[in-house]
Chains A and B, each alone.
Chain A
Amino acid sequence: MEEGLTEEPVAKTRISGRIDGPLLCGQLCRAHVRAMLGIAAAILAVCICSARAQADSGPATIGELKQLNVEDLMNVEVTSVARHPEKLLHAASAIQVITQEDIRRSGATSIPEALRLADNLEVAQKNSHDWDISARGFNTALANKLLVMIDGRTVYSPLFSGVFWDVQDYLLEDIDRIEVISGPGGALWGANAVNGVINIITKSAKDTQGLYADAGGGSQPKDFTGVRYGGEIGSGTQFRIYGKYFDRGDEVLANGSPESDAWHQGQGGFRIDSQASAQDRLTLQGDMYDGREDVQTGGITDTSGANVLGRWTRTLSDDSNLSLQSYIDQTHRSIPETPLMLDGLAFTPAGTFYDDLITYDVDFQHQFQLDPRDRVVWGLGFRRTEDAVINAPSVGFLPAVLDQSLYSAFVQDEFTLHKDLSFTLGTKLEHNAFTGFEYEPDARLSWSLSSNQALWAAVSRAVRTPSLIDRDLSEGTPPYLALLEGSSNFTSETLLAYELGYRAQLGSKFTTSVSTFYNQYNDVRSTSFTPATIVPLYFANNLEGDTYGTEFSGNYQVSNDWSLHAGYTLLRENLRVKPGGYDLNDALNETADPKHQFSLRSSLNLLGRAEFDAALRWVDTLLTNNGATPGTVPSYFELNTRLAWHASDRLEISVVGQNLLHPYHVEYGFPDPTRVEIQRSVYGKLAWRY
Chain B
Amino acid sequence: MAVLRRALQALLCGTLVMMLCLRTACGAEAPTEYQVKAVFVYNFSHFVEWPPQAFAAADAPFVIGILGGDPFGAHLDEAVHGEQIGQHPLLVRRFHSIDEIGDCQILYIDRAASAQLPQILAAQAHRGTLTVSDFDGAAEHGVMIQFATENNRIRLRINVEAARAAGLTISSKLLRPADIVGTRTKD
- Say yes or no: A54 contacts B21, CB within 8 Å: no
- Determine, out of B35-43, B60-68, B118-126, the stretch whose residues face the partner at the interface: B35-43
- Say yes or no: B75 contacts A70, CB within 8 Å: no
Assess whether A366 is interfacial by the CB under 8 Å rule: no
With CB as the reference atom, state the residue of chain A lying closest to B37.
A78
**Contact string, B1-43, partner A, CB cutoff 8 A, digits 1/0?**
0010011011101111110111011111111110110111011
Which positions 31-87 of chain A face chain B at CB distance < 8 Å?
35-36, 39, 42-43, 46-47, 50-51, 53-54, 57-60, 62, 65-66, 68-71, 73-82, 85
- Say yes or no: A81 contacts B25, CB within 8 Å: no
Known A-B contacts A50-B20, A452-B25, A548-B6; the reply to A500 vs B14 at CB < 8 A is yes
- Say yes or no: A70 contacts B177, CB within 8 Å: yes
With CB as the reference atom, state the residue of chain B lying closest to A72.
B177
- Say yes or no: A552 contacts B17, CB within 8 Å: yes
- Say yes or no: A574 contacts B39, CB within 8 Å: no
**When chains A and B are docked, how far (Å) is the Cα of A505 from the Cα of B86?**
40
Which positions 534-553 of chain A face chain B at CB distance < 8 Å?
546, 548-550, 552
Known A-B contacts A66-B39, A78-B36, A450-B25; the reply to A500 vs B11 at CB < 8 A is yes
Task: Identify which of B6, B14, B33, B149 contacts A514 (C-beta below 8 A).
Answer: B14
Task: Identify which of B13, B18, B79 contacts A36 (C-beta below 8 A).
Answer: B13
- Say yes or no: B36 contacts A73, CB within 8 Å: yes
**When chains A and B are docked, how far (Å) is the Cα of A43 from the Cα of B173?**
45
- Say yes or no: B29 contacts A46, CB within 8 Å: no
Most buried by B among A59, A68, A69: A59
Q: How far is the CB of A39 from chain B (nearest CB, A)?
A: 4
Known A-B contacts A62-B78, A508-B31, A514-B18; the reply to A99 vs B24 at CB < 8 A is no
Q: Which residues of B have CB within 8 Å of A27? A: none
**When chains A and B are docked, how far (Å) is the Cα of A315 from the Cα of B177?**
35
Assess whether A206 is interfacial by the CB under 8 Å rule: yes
- Say yes or no: B79 contacts A74, CB within 8 Å: no
- Say yes or no: A54 contacts B26, CB within 8 Å: yes
Task: Identify which of B28, B39, B152 contacts A77 (C-beta below 8 A).
Answer: B152
- Say yes or no: A505 contacts B155, CB within 8 Å: no
- Say yes or no: A516 contacts B29, CB within 8 Å: no
Task: Identify which of B24, B115, B136, B149 contacts A54 (C-beta below 8 A).
Answer: B24
Known A-B contacts A62-B78, A78-B154, A79-B33; the reply to A70 vs B47 at CB < 8 A is yes
Q: Which residues of B have CB within 8 Å of A455? A: 18
- Say yes or no: B27 contacts A53, CB within 8 Å: yes
Assess whether A449 is interfacial by the CB under 8 Å rule: yes
- Say yes or no: A77 contacts B30, CB within 8 Å: yes
Assess whether A512 is interfacial by the CB under 8 Å rule: yes
Assess whether B151 is interfacial by the CB under 8 Å rule: yes
A/B pair count, beta carbons within 8 Å: 182
Assess whether A518 is interfacial by the CB under 8 Å rule: yes
- Say yes or no: B136 contacts A206, CB within 8 Å: yes
**Contact string, A506-538, partner B, CB cutoff 8 A, digits 1/0?**
111010101111100000000000000000000
- Say yes or no: A235 contacts B186, CB within 8 Å: yes
Q: Which residues of A have CB within 8 Å of B26? A: 54
Task: Identify which of A78, A85, A101 contacts B31 (C-beta below 8 A).
Answer: A78
- Say yes or no: A60 contacts B30, CB within 8 Å: yes
Assess whether B91 is interfacial by the CB under 8 Å rule: no
Q: Which residues of A have CB within 8 Å of B174? A: 70
**When chains A and B are docked, how far (Å) is the Cα of A589 from the Cα of B28?**
50
Q: How far is the CB of B82 from chain A (nearest CB, A)?
A: 11
Assess whether A488 is interfacial by the CB under 8 Å rule: no
- Say yes or no: A550 contacts B17, CB within 8 Å: yes
**When chains A and B are docked, how far (Å) is the Cα of A506 from the Cα of B21?**
9
Assess whether A345 is interfacial by the CB under 8 Å rule: no
Assess whether B156 is interfacial by the CB under 8 Å rule: yes
Assess whether A193 is interfacial by the CB under 8 Å rule: no
Assess whether A153 is interfacial by the CB under 8 Å rule: no
Assess whether A502 is interfacial by the CB under 8 Å rule: yes
Q: Which residues of A have CB within 8 Å of B100? A: none
Assess whether A489 is interfacial by the CB under 8 Å rule: no
**When chains A and B are docked, how far (Å) is the Cα of A548 from the Cα of B43?**
52
**When chains A and B are docked, how far (Å) is the Cα of A504 from the Cα of B27?**
11
Q: How far is the CB of A479 from chain B (nearest CB, A)?
A: 47
Known A-B contacts A74-B177, A82-B149; the reply to A452 vs B29 at CB < 8 A is yes
- Say yes or no: A516 contacts B28, CB within 8 Å: no
Q: How far is the CB of B93 from chain A (nearest CB, A)?
A: 19
Q: How far is the CB of A641 from chain B (nearest CB, A)?
A: 21
Assess whether A278 is interfacial by the CB under 8 Å rule: yes
Q: How far is the CB of B144 from chain A (nearest CB, A)?
A: 16
With CB as the reference atom, state the residue of chain B lying closest to A75.
B153
Assess whether B187 is interfacial by the CB under 8 Å rule: yes
**When chains A and B are docked, how far (Å) is the Cα of A504 from the Cα of B137?**
32
Q: How far is the CB of A450 from chain B (nearest CB, A)?
A: 7
Assess whether A451 is interfacial by the CB under 8 Å rule: yes
Known A-B contacts A58-B31, A206-B136; the reply to A502 vs B13 at CB < 8 A is no
Q: Which residues of A have CB within 8 Å of B39? A: 62, 65-66, 68, 73
- Say yes or no: B32 contacts A80, CB within 8 Å: yes
Q: Which residues of A have CB within 8 Å of B43? A: 66, 70, 73
Known A-B contacts A50-B24, A78-B152, A101-B151; the reply to A73 vs B40 at CB < 8 A is yes
- Say yes or no: B25 contacts A504, CB within 8 Å: yes
Task: Identify which of B6, B22, B36 contacts A76 (C-beta below 8 A).
Answer: B36
Q: How far is the CB of A36 from chain B (nearest CB, A)?
A: 7
**When chains A and B are docked, how far (Å) is the Cα of A235 from the Cα of B140?**
12
Q: How far is the CB of A504 from chain B (nearest CB, A)?
A: 6
Supplied contacts A60-B29, A76-B36, 5 more A-B pairs, CB within 8 Å: A42-B17, A58-B30, A59-B31, A452-B25, A550-B14
5 contacts between A and B (CB under 8 A): A39-B16, A50-B24, A502-B21, A518-B10, A552-B17
- 3 A-B pairs with the lowest CB-CB distances in the bound complex, closest first: A516-B14, A507-B27, A50-B24
